[in-house]
Structure 1
Amino acid sequence: KMPGDGSTIKKRIRKLLRSPSVRLNNPGKKCLTAKVALEKVLGITAAGHSGLACDPHSGLVAYPAGCVVVLLNPKKNRQQHLINTSRKSITALAFSPDGKYLVTGESGHLPAVRLWDVSERRQVAELQKHNYGVSCVAFSPNSKYIVSVGTQHDMTISVWAWKKDVVVAVNKVSSKVMAVSFSEDSSYFVTAGVRHIKFWYLDPCKPTKVALSAVPLLGRSGLLGELRNTSFCDVACGRGSSAGSTFCVSSSGLLCEFNGRRTLDKWVDLRTGSAQSLSLSDGIVFCGGADGTVRCFSPADLSFLGTLPRPHPLGSHVGASPLPNAPAAAAAPARYPDTVAVTYDPASRWLSCVYADHSVYVWDVRDVRRAATVHRALYHAAGVWDLQVRPGTHRAPSTSTFFSCSADSTIRQWCTEGLRHGDLMSVIYTDESAAPTTTPTTSSPLLDADGTAGDGATGENRAGIRSICVSPDGKHLASGDRNGRLRVHDLGSMKEILKVDAHEGEILCLEYSQQETGLELLASAARDRLIHVFDAGNAYRRLQTLDEHSSSITAVRFAENSVRLISCGADKSIYFRTAHTTHSGTEFRRSHHVSGKTTLYDMGVDPTCKYAAVGCQDRAIRIFNISTGKQKKLYKGSVSEDGSLLKVQMDPSGLYLATSCSDKNISIFDFHTGECVANMFGHSEVVTGMKFTNDCTHLISVSGDSCIFVWRLAAELTMNMRERLCQLRTSPGGSPSSTKQKGGSMFKIPRLYFKLCASFVCVSVCVWGSIRSYVLVLCYSSSPHTDSASVTSIGADSSDEERSDRREEGEVEVVEEKRRAGRAISVDEALRAVCGPFHFQSQQGFLKQNFESLGDTSNIGDGGCDAADDQEEMRKVLSEALGVVRAQLDPLPCGGGVPDGPLGPRGGGDRAALALLEQYSELLLRSVEKRLDGKT
Structure 2
Amino acid sequence: MSLETQGVPQLELEAVIGFNGHVSSGLRVHPDTEHLIYPLGCSVILKRIKDGKQEFLYGHSNNVSCVSVSKSGSYIASGQVTLLGFKAVVIIWDYAQKSIHAELQLHKAKVEALAFSPNDKYLVSLGGQDDGSIVVWNIETKQAICGSEASAHIAGNCLTVQYSNTDDNVFVSAGSGTLRVWVLDLPNRKIRPTECQIWKLKRIVKCVQISEDDQFIFCGTTSGDIMKINLKTGLLSNCGPTKGKYSMGVNVLRILKCGDLLVGSGSGTFTVCSGTDFKTLKKVQLEKGVTSIAVGKEGKQFFVGTEAAQMYRFGYDDFRAELISTSHNSAVKDGVICFGTSVLFATCSEDDIRVWHIDKPKELLRITVPNMTCNSLDFMVDGHSIISAWNDGKIRVFAPESGRLVLIIHNAHRMGVTVIAGTKDCKRIVSGGGEGQVRIWELLPHGHRLVETMKKHKAAINCIKIKSDSKECVTASADGACIIWDIVRFVSLQMVIANTQFRAVCYHPEEYQIITCGSDRKVAYWDVFDGATIRELEGSQSGSINGMHISQDGRHFVTGGDDKLVKVWDYMNGTVTHVGIAHSASITSIKICSNNRTLISTSADGAILRWRFPHPSPS
TM-score relative to the length of structure 1: 0.61
2:257 counterpart (282, 286, 289): 282
2:135 is aligned with 1:233? no
Q: Give every structure 1 segment of 4 or more consecutive aligned residues whose post-TM-superposition deviation is greater than 6 Å.
A: none
Task: Return the alpha-carbon distance in structure 1 between the equivalents of residues 127 and 165 of structure 2.
Answer: 23
Task: Return the alpha-carbon distance in structure 1 between the equivalents of residues 595 and 468 of structure 2.
Answer: 22
Task: Return the alpha-carbon distance in structure 2 between the equivalents of residues 204 and 562 of structure 1.
Answer: 75
1:511 counterpart (416, 421, 445): 421
Residue pair 2:461, 2:476 contacting (<8 A) in 1 also = yes
- Tell me which residue corresponds to 1:679: 579
Q: How far is the alpha carbon of 1:92 from its aligned partner?
A: 0.8
Task: Return the alpha-carbon distance in structure 2 between the equivalents of residues 307 and 475 of structure 1.
Answer: 44
Question: CA 1:492/1:371 → structure 2, altered by over 3 Å: closer, same or farther?
Answer: closer
Q: How far is the alpha carbon of 1:252 from its aligned partner?
A: 0.3
Residue pair 1:503, 1:526 contacting (<8 A) in 2 also = yes
Residue 587 of structure 1 aligns to a residue whose secondary structure is: coil
1:494 counterpart (369, 384, 403): 403
* Cα deviations by residue, 1:785-842 (Å, 9 ceiling, x for unpaired): xxxxxxxxxxxxxxxxxxxxxxxxxxxxxxxxxxxxxxxxxxxxxxxxxxxxxxxxxx
Q: How far is the alpha carbon of 1:348 from its aligned partner?
A: 5.4
1:220 counterpart (190, 194, 202): 194
Question: CA 1:48/1:566 → structure 2, altered by over 3 Å: closer, same or farther?
Answer: closer
Residue pair 1:114, 1:126 contacting (<8 A) in 2 also = yes
| Matched residue type, 1:697 | R
Residue pair 1:479, 1:486 contacting (<8 A) in 2 also = yes
2:98 counterpart (121, 130, 134): 121
2:10 is aligned with 1:103? no
Task: Return the alpha-carbon distance in structure 2 between the equivalents of residues 663 and 51 of structure 1.
Answer: 26
Task: Return the alpha-carbon distance in structure 1 between the equivalents of residues 23 and 511 of structure 2.
Answer: 48
Q: How far is the alpha carbon of 1:73 from its aligned partner?
A: 3.2
2:126 is aligned with 1:149? yes
1:44 counterpart (19, 25, 36): 19
Q: Which residues of 2 match residues 235-254 of structure 1 at below 5 A? A: 235-240=208-213, 243-254=214-225
Question: CA 1:116/1:694 → structure 2, altered by over 3 Å: closer, same or farther?
Answer: farther
Task: Return the alpha-carbon distance in structure 2 between the equivalents of residues 192 and 470 of structure 1.
Answer: 50
Task: Return the alpha-carbon distance in structure 1 between the equivalents of residues 79 and 451 of structure 2.
Answer: 55
Task: Return the alpha-carbon distance in structure 2 between the equivalents of residues 682 and 89 of structure 1.
Answer: 13
Residue pair 1:230, 1:250 contacting (<8 A) in 2 also = yes
Task: Return the alpha-carbon distance in structure 2 between the equivalents of residues 176 and 192 of structure 1.
Answer: 9
* Cα deviations by residue, 1:266-307 (Å, 9 ceiling, x for unpaired): 1112622221111122222111113321222333x2442512
- Tell me which residue corresponds to 1:345: 296
- Tell me which residue corresponds to 2:604: 704
Query: Computing the radius of gyration over CA atoms, which structure comes out larger, 1 or 2?
Result: 1
- Tell me which residue corresponds to 2:327: 379
Residue 226 of structure 1 aligns to a residue whose secondary structure is: coil
Structure in which a larger fraction of residues adopt helix: 1
Task: Return the alpha-carbon distance in structure 2 between the equivalents of residues 84 and 102 of structure 1.
Answer: 13
| Matched residue type, 1:337 | K
* Cα deviations by residue, 1:396-446 (Å, 9 ceiling, x for unpaired): xx3232111111x2111111435xxx7111111233xx3xxxxxxxxxxxx
Question: CA 1:599/1:403 → structure 2, altered by over 3 Å: closer, same or farther?
Answer: same
- Tell me which residue corresponds to 2:429: 522
Residue pair 1:87, 1:681 contacting (<8 A) in 2 also = no
Task: Return the alpha-carbon distance in structure 1 between the equivalents of residues 394 and 219 of structure 2.
Answer: 47
Residue 72 of structure 2 aligns to a residue whose secondary structure is: coil
2:273 counterpart (288, 297, 302): 297
Q: How far is the alpha carbon of 1:60 from its aligned partner?
A: 1.9
2:284 counterpart (309, 317, 326): 309
Residue 579 of structure 2 aligns to a residue whose secondary structure is: strand
Residue pair 2:25, 2:293 contacting (<8 A) in 1 also = no
RMSD: 2.4
Residue pair 2:476, 2:482 contacting (<8 A) in 1 also = yes
| Matched residue type, 1:354 | G
- Tell me which residue corresponds to 2:171: 189
Task: Return the alpha-carbon distance in structure 1 between the equivalents of residues 298 and 289 of structure 2.
Answer: 26
* Cα deviations by residue, 1:233-272 (Å, 9 ceiling, x for unpaired): 00011103xx221111110011111102111211112622
Residue 660 of structure 1 aligns to a residue whose secondary structure is: strand
- Tell me which residue corresponds to 2:378: 469
Task: Return the alpha-carbon distance in structure 1 between the equivalents of residues 547 and 439 of structure 2.
Answer: 22
Q: Which residues of 2 match residues 559-708 of structure 1 at below 5 A? A: 559-560=467-468, 563-579=471-487, 586-638=488-540, 640=541, 642-708=542-608
| Matched residue type, 1:385 | K
Residue pair 2:9, 2:577 contacting (<8 A) in 1 also = no
Residue 347 of structure 1 aligns to a residue whose secondary structure is: helix
2:454 is aligned with 1:554? no
Q: How far is the alpha carbon of 1:634 from its aligned partner?
A: 0.3
Question: CA 1:374/1:489 → structure 2, altered by over 3 Å: closer, same or farther?
Answer: closer
* Cα deviations by residue, 1:79-102 (Å, 9 ceiling, x for unpaired): 423242343211111112122321
| Matched residue type, 2:458 | S
Residue pair 1:33, 1:680 contacting (<8 A) in 2 also = no
Q: Which residues of 2 match residues 9-20 of structure 1 at below 5 A? A: none
Deviates more, 1:152-161 or 1:657-666: 657-666
- Tell me which residue corresponds to 2:394: 485
| Matched residue type, 1:708 | I
Q: How far is the alpha carbon of 1:470 from its aligned partner?
A: 0.6
| Matched residue type, 1:106 | Q
Q: Which residues of 2 match residues 655-804 of structure 1 at below 5 A? A: 655-713=555-613, 717-719=614-616, 722-723=617-618
Task: Return the alpha-carbon distance in structure 2 between the equivalents of residues 254 and 357 of structure 1.
Answer: 23
Q: How far is the alpha carbon of 1:662 from its aligned partner?
A: 2.6
Residue pair 1:74, 1:375 contacting (<8 A) in 2 also = no
Q: How far is the alpha carbon of 1:682 from its aligned partner?
A: 4.1
| Matched residue type, 1:712 | R
Residue pair 1:362, 1:376 contacting (<8 A) in 2 also = yes
Residue 321 of structure 2 aligns to a residue whose secondary structure is: strand
Residue pair 1:130, 1:154 contacting (<8 A) in 2 also = yes
Question: CA 1:33/1:402 → structure 2, altered by over 3 Å: closer, same or farther?
Answer: farther
Q: How far is the alpha carbon of 1:46 from its aligned partner?
A: 3.3
Task: Return the alpha-carbon distance in structure 2 between the equivalents of residues 305 and 57 of structure 1.
Answer: 30
Task: Return the alpha-carbon distance in structure 2 between the equivalents of residues 295 and 493 of structure 1.
Answer: 33
TM-score relative to the length of structure 2: 0.91
* Cα deviations by residue, 1:340-384 (Å, 9 ceiling, x for unpaired): 22222253521111122221111111x2xx313344322223222
Residue pair 2:499, 2:520 contacting (<8 A) in 1 also = no
Q: Which residues of 2 match residues 787-936 of structure 1 at below 5 A? A: none
Question: CA 1:650/1:537 → structure 2, altered by over 3 Å: closer, same or farther?
Answer: farther
Structure in which a larger fraction of residues adopt strand: 2
Q: Could you list the runs of 5+ residues in structure 1 that have no partner in the other structure?
A: 1-28, 207-214, 312-335, 393-397, 435-462, 580-585, 727-936
Residue pair 1:58, 1:99 contacting (<8 A) in 2 also = no
2:383 is aligned with 1:411? no
Residue 112 of structure 1 aligns to a residue whose secondary structure is: strand
Task: Return the alpha-carbon distance in structure 2 between the equivalents of residues 608 and 119 of structure 1.
Answer: 51
Task: Return the alpha-carbon distance in structure 1 between the equivalents of residues 198 and 13 of structure 2.
Answer: 47
Residue 490 of structure 2 aligns to a residue whose secondary structure is: strand
Residue pair 1:697, 1:712 contacting (<8 A) in 2 also = yes
* Cα deviations by residue, 1:489-545 (Å, 9 ceiling, x for unpaired): 222443222101211122111112335xxx743210111211111234765433221
Q: Could you list the runs of 5+ residues in structure 2 that have no partner in the other structure?
A: none
| Matched residue type, 2:207 | D
| Matched residue type, 2:544 | S
Task: Return the alpha-carbon distance in structure 2 between the equivalents of residues 665 and 525 of structure 1.
Answer: 27
Task: Return the alpha-carbon distance in structure 1 between the equivalents of residues 421 and 16 of structure 2.
Answer: 27
Question: CA 1:708/1:498 → structure 2, altered by over 3 Å: closer, same or farther?
Answer: same
Task: Return the alpha-carbon distance in structure 2 between the equivalents of residues 282 and 561 of structure 1.
Answer: 67
Residue 267 of structure 2 aligns to a residue whose secondary structure is: helix
Task: Return the alpha-carbon distance in structure 2 between the equivalents of residues 137 and 636 of structure 1.
Answer: 42
Question: CA 1:75/1:93 → structure 2, altered by over 3 Å: closer, same or farther?
Answer: same
Task: Return the alpha-carbon distance in structure 1 between the equivalents of residues 187 and 467 of structure 2.
Answer: 76
Question: CA 1:32/1:140 → structure 2, altered by over 3 Å: closer, same or farther?
Answer: farther
Q: Which residues of 2 match residues 351-430 of structure 1 at below 5 A? A: 351-365=302-316, 367=317, 370-392=318-340, 398-407=341-350, 409-418=351-360, 423-430=362-369
- Tell me which residue corresponds to 1:439: none
Question: CA 1:679/1:571 → structure 2, altered by over 3 Å: closer, same or farther?
Answer: same
Aligned residues between the structures: 602
